[in-house]
Amino acid sequence: MKAKMDGILDRDEARYTITNIQRFATHDGPGIRTVVFFKGCRLHCPWCANPETWKPEPELFHDDSLCTGCGRCQKACPAKAIAISAGKAVISRELCTGCGSCVTACLNKAMEITGQVMTVREILAEVDKDRDYYQVSRGGVTLSGGEVFQQDPVPLLQALKARGYHTAVETEGAYGLEKLQQALPWIDLVYHDVKHCDGKKLKQFTGGDLEEIEEHLRYLKTTDVPVVIRVPVIPGFNQGDLEDIRFYVRHLGFEQMQLLPFHPMGKGKWHKLDRRYPYEQTPMMDKEILADFADEGTRIGGQ
Ligand code: SF4
Ligand code: SF4
């Protein structure tokens, strides 16, 4: 009994770097859900809506529109990572350690640390707030990112299943197969990205390795865990190749597919990280233009 209790205590102290815990989500699995966003991803998709999840460690957001150039952050920074130029703070991303001193110093809330280390116990405290909603809506908890398998999701998944919650995981397949195999007993539903079926294009745009992704998909096919394939539809990348992608997905044996129309809603976060957003001039895609692709197994948009 004591050994079991010790195991649970150890599990509940496992630590994760999380960028956000979003309550009342309805597009990332059945029912009402809480989505936990993991930090860290090997891919760098130029359309990414969550660029703050790329690096595994906490990072600094700087909102230029709130900055008056007062210089308080510069004085507070122990790493001398801040200069004032043209009336605005300019951050050296190489020197910044993410210590957060500038966040405290800034009276205008122009600085913010994105990414927080949380234990399983702390994550559960947030997730448990909506346990009644999960029950009435047949919802649960979805782990997303970033790439969930860049960290070890097993302790958190075990804790969620111990509470009887439905668990879903969103992944892009850029991780080791072993991690998926270890976690699968505690996963009820997998959303797996297939961004392209052309390995060269996938590598060029995202850094992803199609062979590795395919290995995970083939493994998933040997299990009884339900899988929904997700395809972000991106102008100039895969919008013209959707029939080929659907053929590829079905050839691998998957029927359920969601086409997710491009949206530029992550743009502000690219700016706050001082990164150039490649789709600055690209408008949100009207999902109606994908209507012809809808069929029994293909939905337009998430669920
Ligand atoms: S303290 Fe805030 S407002 Fe002042 S320069 Fe720094 S970021 Fe800008
Ligand atoms: S987070 Fe710390 S190191 Fe980075 S700019 Fe702010 S004060 Fe400097």
| Pocket flag, ligand 1, residue 68 (CB < 6 Å) | yes
Separation CA 222–CA 215 (nearest Å): 11
Nearest CA to ligand 2 atom 2: 99
Q: Which CATH number fits domain 2-54+116-300: 3.90.660.10, 3.40.1080.10, 3.20.20.70, 3.40.225.10?
A: 3.20.20.70
In angstroms, rounded to a whole number, what is the distance separating the alpha carbons of residues 103 and 106? 5
Is residue 303 very low, low, confident or very high in pLDDT (cuts 50, 70, 90)? low
Whose Cα sits closest to atom 8 in ligand 2? Answer: 77
pTM: 0.93
Considering every ligand atom shown, identify the ligand nearest to the alpha carbon of residue 59 and give its number: 2
Give the model confidence (pLDDT) of 194-244 as tens digits. Answer: 999 999 999 999 999 999 999 999 999 999 999 999 999 999 999 999 999
Any idea where the domains of the chain sit in the sequence?
2-54+116-300, 59-114
pLDDT computed for residue 138 by the predictor: 96
What mean pLDDT is reported for the chain? 95
Q: What does the pLDDT read at residue 28?
A: 93
Residue 190 identity (one-letter amino acid): V
Q: Indicate if the alpha-carbon torsion angle 92, 94, 100, 101 is positive or negative.
A: negative
Percent of the chain with pLDDT over 70: 98
CATH code of the domain occupying 59-114: 3.30.70.20
Q: Mind listing the pLDDT tens digit for each residue in 48-103?
A: 999 999 999 999 999 999 999 999 999 999 999 999 999 999 999 999 999 999 99
Read off the pLDDT of each residue in 10-31 and give the average, rounded to a whole number.
95
User: What pLDDT does 82 receive?
Assistant: 98
Residues 241-279 have pLDDT tens digits of 999 999 999 999 999 999 999 999 999 999 999 999 999
Query: At residue 165, does pLDDT exceed 90?
Result: yes
Instruction: Give the DSSP letter string of the chain.
Output: -HHHHHHHHHHHT-EEEEEEEEEEE-SSSSSSEEEEEE---S---TT-S-GGGSSSS-EEEE-GGG-----HHHHH-TT--EEEETTEEEE-TTT-----HHHHH-TT--EEEE-EEEEHHHHHHHHGGGHHHHHHHT-EEEEESS-GGGS--HHHHHHHHHTT-EEEEEE-S-S-HHHHHHHGGG-SEEEEE---S-HHHHHHHH---HHHHHHHHHHHHTS-S-EEEEEEE-TTTTGGGHHHHHHHHHHTT---EEEEE---TTHHHHHHTT---TTTTPPPPPGGGGGGG--SSEEES--
Q: Can you tell me the distance from the alpha carbon of 200 to that of 222, in angstroms, rounded to the nearest whole number?
A: 27
Q: Which of 61, 111, 113, 272 to mutate to test the pocket of ligand 1 (most atoms within 8 A of CB)?
A: 111
Q: Give pLDDT, residue 173.
A: 87
- CA–CA separation, 138 and 75 (whole Å): 51
Q: What is the pLDDT of residues 143-163, one digit of tens each?
A: 999 999 999 999 999 999 999
Would you state the pLDDT for residue 1? Answer: 65
Counting ligand 2 atoms within 8 A of each CB, the residue from 73, 92, 102 with the most, and so the one to mutate, is: 102
Quick one: pLDDT at residue 223? 97
